[in-house]
Amino acid sequence: MKTNAAKICVPVCVPLASELSPAIARAAEVADIIELRLDGLLAAELDSIKGILGSLINKADAPIILTMRSGEQGGRGSLSLAQRSQFWSSIGSTAENCLRDFELDLVQDYNRRQDKRVDWSKIICSYHDFAGVPSNLEQIYESMATTEARTLKIAVQADDATDCLPVFHLLERAQREGREMIVIAMGPAGIMTRILGPSRGSYLTYGSLDDESATAPGQLTARELREVYRIDQINRATGVFGIMGSPVGHSLSPHIHNAAFAAGGLNAVYLPFEVRDAVSFMRRMAHPRSRELDWNLRGLSVTAPHKSTVISCLDWIDPAAKEIGAVNTIVAQDNELHGHNTDAPGFIRPLHNAFGALKGARCAIIGAGGGARAALWALGNEGADIALLVRAPDKARPVANEFGVDCRQLTGARLNQFEIVINATPLGTRGKHAEQTPATVQQLSGVRLAYDLVYDPTETRFLREARAAGCETLSGLEMLIAQAVEQFRLWTGQDPSAEVMRAAARAALG
């Protein structure tokens, strides 16, 4: 149910005029507004579009924005200012029943020429910067605000979550000054502006028809905006949660937690936060006493490479997380930030279910990062017999010494002396590491259970090698769900449905 004024604009960008009509029909199924990116048409198609444009606009089942973007401003073509001006003049009254997106240089050109033919009540004045957030962002806004354009649009590239702060501040200024505004931070680090923008006054947000038709970096699909993030129900009171790390685009956590929030009827949303500088993000956006944004941020998941870095930014740390030396869950509580580690209980619960009692069990952990630390602590508490296996023992020995376990060379090692072998490295993760494995079928022969903490894909090469060696196998998806359940309890005080979380994860994985 739509409970706010969020409008999703779906861009249509195709090379042939004949493809526009079916593309508009598909977009209308999920869009509140449709943007026709005419700069996506081949140059030879521009003349033919003029004869059908009026019909396309009149037949569309949603309001239309016409856009002819220059190459410098992210357009697919390379039309000069004069060519764009001539194009808009040539379609004349055809565009009367829709909004038109004029870039700032074109608006300024019309103003210089004092062209009286422009209906400014139907103009979006836009500016894009694909290099970053310009230092003179406020001045750019002020220059745009002097025009008669109905709506102002500014889109800038974000490289870190904190780059969204000037974007949100600009939107707040436009609200105070009564200017209709669209402000977006592009790229993965700017996703929060696309999701939260409408609830904070942005006239619209952009969502693609599918993953292949995105027209700007970081653009989510319209269905994701509605079905995963429930953008139609977000308001200023919505509790904001999210995962901070770099990268976080692959994370299933937004799918898992947003599904659980929806099933629990909670006014909450979970976002991905692409964070390079963890200390700056914690100070400027997360901590209740120093954050520079007025938002209801209530909790965070923390992933690589920040699980240890965030410790110095917290007011209180759970003793277990302190012993592990890593925090993966932060709760905003009583004007403070409290740190926890749900990786350890999330790791051990599926292992108990699959193996049984772990006291005395011979376990090998491959890797020495944050996941390995949680596994070392959890297995140590169970009384397991643990060894750390790595490719560079000298580098990992401090971790092994900290937890009082043996540190051995992985390369060429036979693992049949162990009952359980755990992959706590990123090898096997979807992407460049997908076909890599820390152990082969020959090494794993004789092992009872192989446990991979990688969850995407659920069937890694490590698990395939283990199965071929006759091992029982356990996917990292079960750890992901188990630790997410613990996070949800810490944040909300409620028990989520693990089945809802698991189904959401599997749907996201395809």
Active site residues: 307
CA dist., res. 67 & res. 215, Å (int): 12
Of 298, 224, 246, residue with least CA distance to 268: 298
Contact criterion met (CB below 8 Å) for 167 and 184: yes
Contact criterion met (CB below 8 Å) for 57 and 94: yes
Angle at 507 between CA 486 and CA 26, to 5 degrees: 135
Cα-to-chain-centroid distance, residue 386: 36
Of 63, 296, 337, 332, residue with least CA distance to 196: 296
CA dist., res. 426 & res. 438, Å (int): 9
Of 299, 301, 300, 279, residue with least CA distance to 290: 279
Cβ-Cβ contacts under 8 Å for 195 (sequence gap 6 or more): 205, 220, 225, 229, 231, 234, 269, 271
**Count of beta carbons in the 10 Å neighbourhood of residue 205:** 25
Helices (H), 60-103: 81-91
Give, in order, the Cα–Cα distances in Å from 139 to each of 59, 145, 349: 40, 10, 55
| Total residues found in the chain within this entry | 510
> 497 is written with which tokens?
């449905």
CA dist., res. 352 & res. 142, Å (int): 61
> 238 is written with which tokens?
């919505």
Of 287, 285, 195, 298, residue with least CA distance to 237: 298
Of 436, 425, 371, 379, residue with least CA distance to 404: 379
Is residue 489 within a helix (H) or strand (E), and if so which, with residue range?
Answer: helix 476-492
CA dist., res. 21 & res. 58, Å (int): 11
Q: Using H for helix, E for strand and C for coil, what is the string for 326-340?
A: CCCEEEEECCEEEEE
**From the CA atom positions of the chain, what is the Rg in Å?**
26
